[in-house]
Structure 1
Amino acid sequence: MRIQISSWLLLVCFCSSFFGLHPILVSGRCLDNQKVLLLALKNEVQFDSSLSTKLVGWNQSVDCCDWGGVACDKTGHVIGLDLSNESISGGFNGSSSVFSLGFLKSFNLAYNSFNSAQLPLGFGKLTQVSYLNLSNAYFEGQIPGDFSSMKRLVTLDLSSSPYYTLVLENPDLKMLIQNLKEVRELHLDNMKISTHGYHWSGVISSSLPNLQVLSLKSCGLSGPLDSSLSMLKNLSVILLDENTFSSDIPESFGSLQNLRVLSLRACNLNGSLPKKIFQIPTLKTIDLSSNVILKGPLPEFPENGSLENLLLSYTEVGGTLPDSIGNLPLLSRIELRGCKFTGPIPDSMKDLTRIVYLDLSSNHLTGSIPSFRLSKNLAYLNFYLNNLTGGIPSFQGLNSLQFLDLSYNSLNGDFPESLLALPSLEYVYLSNNRLSGQFRKDIDVSSYKLRNLDLSSNKFVGSIPGFIFKLPLLSTLKLSENNFNGVIDLDMFGKFKELYALDLSYNDLTVKVNMGSKSSFSSELNTLKLASCKMKELPNLKNQSRLMMIDLSDNELRGEIPNWIWEVGNGYLRFLNLSSNKFSSLQKPYTFPFLLDVLDLHSNVLEGDIPIPPRRVYHLDYSNNNFGSSIPVNFGNVLTSTLFFSMSNSKLVGVIPQSIRNATSLRVLDLSHNTLTGPIPSIGNSKDLQSLDLSVNKLNGSIPVELANLSLLSFLNLSYNHLSGKIPQGSRFQTFTELSFKGNKELCGPPLKKSCDKKRI
């Protein structure tokens, strides 16, 4: 959303002058020649009449000064033309009738779809135009040279989308603006501007002395940021996001006493925060976020400061938050996510009565959470991933609060029941704290809008709280890793018509599954985690067309893994964990879903042939089973994307297939505790391998020399095999102890004490 704070009065002026808000300007009737030109324009351009709200209504029977998007002066000449959002897709060229509207002062073609067409010559004929907006109209290519003839321009907006790029190369930026002395607003976002180093800023400061709003976001500009911009004393808005300045912020920016908005997000800025900028009495918004090496503490803020938006997320800015932040009574948005702040949250924040959005997540804050009872407008509160302690304060009266994330702290005490009285609340995340206690059965619930509730990884006890089943819009429920107990019927969750994710894992619950043809869940279900829930039967998931993640591990499931499970999610299943059950086989025929990323069947009693996984799988765990068979010859050919592969302790026999050399993405390979024979195949192509465990087998032959060249290998266990010969020497092998090689009687050389017989070698 473009910010044009400084131009509000100017915009009102334009609207009054050009769009018929002033009664004097609409007293004249449309001149015939003006109507002819406008009707010709309508016939020239291609537009979607079903989406048009202006052009579609232009016709002979109505005075053209009353047409949508048209403004006339008192003599009947067209002075304003607004064809924005008209679904125009073509037919605009150098012979367009619009270039014959000699009295035109305002022209807006923004938000159309010209499908990569070049801007035509002809704009230079519009010498009276003071407002020109061609933004996001999907034009591409070089800006025509005659734009520089529009000497009365006050506002010029040529911003484009990242996918349709306008170019300023020949003519360049200097040639475009050198004659536009009256320009007060310049918007060229996403334009490819050809310029050398920081010279662009000197061109602007010398050519546009009246400039108030400068927006050059994502223009490919380089630095360093030059102090010449501070010569433009009327500048009130600077938007230069996503350029590569690689410099500090000039201290001279602090002399821009009319500055209201400064946005330099993701500009690779370095150095420290310039304190002087924060003292500018008119400053309302400062956004320096995503400058990952920008450092320094926050300065002290002046009393009754005007700042409304403070955005410094993902920088190195840190230290303690100053108490003087309470001096900013107009603050409505604070984003300090992923910074380096330490110490307590200032108690003065309770005085920020206008705060709407407060994000201090991913810092190192300590102490307790202050009360925000006076912050009646607070809608978003995020203290995720800090070191906060104490109880959760009452949120009574915060009727605008929609989002609350206090997860990953060390908060204790009971669940704050005051949350359930907040009528706007939709998202609550309290996971990974030390909250405890049992929920009352008669809790009043007013938060009927609640969609996401995450209480996982706490110390709650008792049965699943009854208030949960009074939340009709609940979409995500995560209660895992608590001490909830009792029997819960899975059918109870059928009342949630929008249920997207359910996680009840690792409590002391017994989940009861009613065997029937009907599913217990809504058709929206995407994630189901019921690990360690004492389940004896698989829930009916056959018709869950959107389900992508299933974790039913550590239960009491047995028998065949039904083949319908591979069709869940219409073949788009991405994650399946059925480990630590008592499954004995896979029902045939079966076809693994092509997009399956994680398949975990470890610690079952699977027997017989080893299932060949899909090629996309990156985590494959068949360990601790009873296969009693050999690894298929071509098995390695389907592991080209696999990062983790384990079949340890699965009663494997035969050799490790040579195809394992094609598993070049492996980081972990564990085939230990089997009865594998033959040599270790060459796996030198697995350059990312970090852990290799082939221990307790019957492998023979020498250790492949290329293993010693795996630079990332940090864990190696080849112990208790029948390997022989000299242990290869390499930078990584020198870090391994004899524990990696012991139990191989014919191995010799360091780190083993047994030296190698030269005759043998």
Structure 2
Amino acid sequence: MEQFLHCFSLKCLLTIIFFIIFPNYYILTQSVSSIQPPACWDSERSALLHFKESFILHKSASDFPLAYPKVNSWKVGVDCCSWDGVECDDNIGHVIGLDLSSSFLHGSIDSNSTLFHLHHLTSLNLSDNDFDGSKLPSAIGNLSRLSLLDLSFSAFSGQIPIEILELSELETLDLSGFDNYLELQNPSLKSLVDKLVKLKYLDLGGGVNVSSTVPQSLANLSSLAHLSLRSCDMNGEFPIEIFQLPKLQFLSVSANPRLKGRLPEFPINSSIESLWLYGTGFDGELPKSIGNLKSLSDLEVAECNFSGQIPSSLASLTHLTYLSLSHNPFSRGTLIWLGNQTKLDTLYLGNTSLYGDIPSSLKNLTQLTVLSLNLNWFSGQIPSWIGNLTRLTVLDLHANELRGPIPQSLFNLVNLEVLDLHESQLSGTVNLEQILQIRGLTFLQLSGNDLSVLTTTTKNASVPKFKFLALGSCNLSEFPDFLDQDELEFLSLGNNKIDGRIPKWLWGSSAKTLEVLDLQGNLITGFDQPYVAPPWTNLRILNLVDNMLQGPLPIPPASIYYYFVENNSLTGELTPMICNLSFILVLDVSNNNLSGVLPPCLSNLSRSLSVLNLQNNSFRGLIPTICERGSQLRMIDFSQNQLDGQILSSMVDCRMLESLNLASNRLKDAFPSQLGKLPELKILILRQNEFHGAIGNAQIDVVFPKLRILDLSFNKFAGPLPSRYFQRWNAMKVVDFSRLKYLQLRGPIPQGKQFATFDNNSFVGNPGLCGEPLSKKCYSEASPPPPRLSSNSKKDGGDSLFEFGWKIVVLGYGVGVMVGLILGYTFNPWKHKWFLKYFWGSNRGGSRGQGTDDQCSK
């Protein structure tokens, strides 16, 4: 008891002493406990709940990996200031901030939305949701206190309302995205910049179609730190003063090919950290003062028109982590300036006219994850030290002059995902097992070298999951077992020595993912099972050219765009099943042994098909209707078959047709004057048929406005060539009438310096022609010679062959006449940039200015 009293007395004493020292403690604690943040206003809570109910939540609406539905925390009866994504004013309780970015919101929004009842909002972030193409509501102008508005990647569309100009407090405006769904026409970008003078952050990149010049007034935004007009269809001259903005840190005008400009002389105190000019018309030289950008971490100027030497002052940019100079017409140079940039993570120098050995200074760049030196003139061997850059995920050295073997050290790059060495002059033997030890490799391109690839890996071995695999010209003699994969998108084994049949296991490999299969230039004879349509549901390109395929024509899957099977030994008819290929753009079955009558259903393809090539088979019968209104056909080649009958009048429905070759058939018809109505026709070849009668039709005044190549040889035409045709065929700019054999022409030969150089042999097979250089005279000695036609003559003389002053290039097949020049197909729609790079090989030769895009691997 005494002990208790002693402790009690001690506690009381201490308590009394505490309150003597801190007399206001009780008052303070009572005051603090009574100060609580105010609850949100009922009207604003109700507005937010109604706003929530106007959407459905769908995971596909947001792409950010950490996205989650923030509005799930919004409950009735709970203080909205505690809800996820909601910020309230500490003093009054009004909702001042709303961040619903990446919240799976899906649905539309309009000016009646209760969102616009939140008049105290200063910050609104709805980015990375799906508002389903809604117009940006004009009621956005009601939120006049906004200093931040972020609607990026949120699928708004249409014209940005003029009410946005009322948001005069805005410091951050982000409308970036994909596909330019939004438009900024009225108001214009200039109006926006003139009104929103407090902007520090403006990003319209990829989300807004501006279609205007860059306003000079942007240079007046003295607080601007971030400006992105990427892919906004900007044009005109970029105001150089913008580079001088005192607080500018980030500038991107990439992917505006109509935008011109030059770089300024940069001051020493420039604050720019990121400069992105990719895919613009900027030109001139990179200034030496670019070395003054000491804070620069990202420099992207690929696919511009910069020239001159790459400045060595780039060596001063020691903070660089990303550098891309690719695809500019720089003068030939070296990389002596490179080596100090030890922080570099990404380096693109493709197609920049670099030459010599790959410089050893690169081995200092141990932080590199991407190294692209493609389409240059590097020679010598791939250096062994490249295997020490162990962080590399992308190594692209394709299309150089590199020789010798692939160094063993390269297989130390265990983090590689992309390895592209194609179209060089590498040689030696490569054991594929070593490459397959790089487990993360998804892109491997070794085609177009002099390599011998050994494939001994068993089918059950652990191998990378390839998406892109190209082993063309690698001396393969069989299909490698490891190709039995399920994620391949592109497979090229062209120009090898693979013989026999395509195995069953390959025919179904990567059934849901394969888009391109290239087996051209092998010795393949067929399929290891009775042919059925392959199971590739997404196959776009199938190339079986230059093999030894026998039997009926394989029918590709319905998804096919480009089907090449020329130069084989296929037999049988062109089955009507081919007409089910409703997406096909190019069908080439030339140089086979196919026969029979062409199926009438070919017209079903005319709305998709661009190229139809049936050359050099044994098709017979009439030419079916192949043109309908809306036809997309640009090239038709039925030459070297046994077709008969006439050219159907429906051919004029092929309004986009550029080339028509009907040579070496049995067609019996008059000259097809109706084809003169085709506005794009450049090549018309009718040689070696049984066309007859006069050339032209006096009743039809149509003159083939773009015709460049005309071959009428080895037919039964009679009468003169109407001079009105030749006076109007302005597209024939390179002409040379050196041989006009076997055309059955008659009438006087025009006189002039050109024709005076021809001899009699140029006109063999035209017994009706007369006049010099032939011995046959056209008139009596007393009669005047035929007049020379001037280039300005607009009269149709009727008797003259050709307008004086033309040169017609003869490219006849041994004999006959062909006007113009043929270089393979006239129309090459399938040679898209990526397809040209990886399917037909890189652009090699003197100029590499049109090289393919390094950015594919970004």
TM-score (norm 1): 0.76
Residue pair 2:606, 2:626 contacting (<8 A) in 1 also: no
Q: How many residues align?
A: 666
Residue pair 1:489, 1:512 contacting (<8 A) in 2 also: no
The higher radius of gyration belongs to 2
For structure 2, the residue ranges without an aligned partner over 5 or more in a row are 1-28, 60-67, 727-742, 748-767, 769-797, 799-858
Residue pair 1:669, 1:691 contacting (<8 A) in 2 also: yes
Alignment match, 1:732? 704
Alignment match, 2:538? 572
How big is the shift at 1:643?
1.3
Q: Distance in 1 between matches of 2:419 and 2:300?
A: 23
Compared with structure 1, are the counterparts of its residues 528 and 25 closer, same or farther at alpha carbon in structure 2 (3 Å cutoff)? Answer: farther
Compared with structure 1, are the counterparts of its residues 24 and 156 closer, same or farther at alpha carbon in structure 2 (3 Å cutoff)? Answer: farther
Compared with structure 1, are the counterparts of its residues 625 and 26 closer, same or farther at alpha carbon in structure 2 (3 Å cutoff)? Answer: farther
Q: Distance in 2 between matches of 1:67 and 1:430?
A: 53
Aligned pair 1:742/2:713, yes or no? yes
Alignment match, 2:390? 423
Compared with structure 1, are the counterparts of its residues 561 and 741 closer, same or farther at alpha carbon in structure 2 (3 Å cutoff)? Answer: farther
Aligned pair 1:275/2:261, yes or no? no
Q: Distance in 1 between matches of 2:583 and 2:300?
A: 38
Residue pair 2:235, 2:260 contacting (<8 A) in 1 also: yes
Residue pair 1:615, 1:639 contacting (<8 A) in 2 also: no
Q: Distance in 2 between matches of 1:129 and 1:224?
A: 24
Q: Secondary structure at the match of 2:354?
A: strand
Residue pair 2:99, 2:125 contacting (<8 A) in 1 also: yes
Q: Secondary structure at the match of 2:535?
A: helix
Alignment match, 2:94? 104
Q: Distance in 1 between matches of 2:240 and 2:648?
A: 63
Aligned pair 1:754/2:707, yes or no? no
Q: Distance in 2 between matches of 1:185 and 1:43?
A: 28
Alignment match, 1:522? 485
Alignment match, 1:87? none
Q: Secondary structure at the match of 1:295?
A: strand
For structure 1, the residue ranges without an aligned partner over 5 or more in a row are 1-22, 72-77, 81-100, 192-215
Aligned pair 1:309/2:300, yes or no? no
Q: Distance in 2 between matches of 1:118 and 1:224?
A: 23
- Equivalent position to 1:692, from 648, 653, 660: 660
User: Structure 2: which amino acid aligns with 1:635?
Assistant: L
Q: Distance in 2 between matches of 1:637 and 1:55?
A: 52
Residue pair 1:582, 1:604 contacting (<8 A) in 2 also: yes
Aligned pair 1:716/2:690, yes or no? no
Compared with structure 1, are the counterparts of its residues 28 and 699 closer, same or farther at alpha carbon in structure 2 (3 Å cutoff)? Answer: farther
How big is the shift at 1:217?
8.0
Equivalent residues in 2 for 1:183-202 (5 A)?
A: 183=169, 185=171, 187=173, 189=175
- Equivalent position to 2:375, from 408, 417, 426: 408
Q: Distance in 2 between matches of 1:25 and 1:362?
A: 69
Q: Secondary structure at the match of 2:506?
A: coil
How big is the shift at 1:690?
1.6
Residue pair 2:184, 2:210 contacting (<8 A) in 1 also: no
Aligned pair 1:287/2:273, yes or no? no
- CA offsets 1:679-705 (integer angstroms, 9 cap, x no match): 223311112222222112222111322
Compared with structure 1, are the counterparts of its residues 348 and 26 closer, same or farther at alpha carbon in structure 2 (3 Å cutoff)? Answer: farther
Residue pair 1:338, 1:362 contacting (<8 A) in 2 also: yes
Residue pair 1:319, 1:342 contacting (<8 A) in 2 also: yes
Alignment match, 2:313? 348
How big is the shift at 1:27?
6.4
Aligned pair 1:604/2:568, yes or no? yes
Q: Distance in 2 between matches of 1:665 and 1:629?
A: 25
Q: Distance in 1 between matches of 2:533 and 2:487?
A: 18
Equivalent residues in 2 for 1:650-669 (5 A)?
A: 650-659=617-626, 664-669=631-636
Residue pair 2:39, 2:81 contacting (<8 A) in 1 also: no
Aligned pair 1:298/2:263, yes or no? yes
How big is the shift at 1:308?
0.7
Compared with structure 1, are the counterparts of its residues 478 and 574 closer, same or farther at alpha carbon in structure 2 (3 Å cutoff)? Answer: same
User: Structure 2: which amino acid aligns with 1:79?
Assistant: D
How big is the shift at 1:355?
1.2
Report sequence identity in percent: 26
Aligned pair 1:378/2:348, yes or no? no
Q: Secondary structure at the match of 1:707?
A: helix
Alignment match, 2:815? none
Residue pair 1:138, 1:160 contacting (<8 A) in 2 also: no
Alignment match, 2:163? 172
Aligned pair 1:335/2:267, yes or no? no
Alignment match, 2:399? 432
Compared with structure 1, are the counterparts of its residues 697 and 595 closer, same or farther at alpha carbon in structure 2 (3 Å cutoff)? Answer: same
Residue pair 2:374, 2:396 contacting (<8 A) in 1 also: yes
Alignment match, 1:236? 200
Compared with structure 1, are the counterparts of its residues 663 and 365 closer, same or farther at alpha carbon in structure 2 (3 Å cutoff)? Answer: same
Q: Distance in 1 between matches of 2:31 and 2:523?
A: 81
How big is the shift at 1:348?
1.7
Residue pair 2:57, 2:106 contacting (<8 A) in 1 also: no
- CA offsets 1:329-379 (integer angstroms, 9 cap, x no match): 111111212211112221221221111222222321232342532222222
Residue pair 1:135, 1:157 contacting (<8 A) in 2 also: no
- CA offsets 1:423-469 (integer angstroms, 9 cap, x no match): 321122222222221234x4264421211111111111111266523
Deviates more, 1:620-629 or 1:292-301: 292-301
- Equivalent position to 1:627, from 578, 594, 601: 594
Q: Distance in 1 between matches of 2:306 and 2:467?
A: 35
User: Structure 2: which amino acid aligns with 1:522?
Assistant: Q
Q: Distance in 1 between matches of 2:239 and 2:630?
A: 52
- CA offsets 1:556-593 (integer angstroms, 9 cap, x no match): 11145855563232x33222122212221138xx7641
Compared with structure 1, are the counterparts of its residues 254 and 579 closer, same or farther at alpha carbon in structure 2 (3 Å cutoff)? Answer: closer
- Equivalent position to 1:499, from 456, 466, 474: 466
Alignment match, 2:669? 701
- CA offsets 1:685-727 (integer angstroms, 9 cap, x no match): 1122222221122221113222223232222221111111122
- CA offsets 1:582-613 (integer angstroms, 9 cap, x no match): 221138xx764111112222111111222342
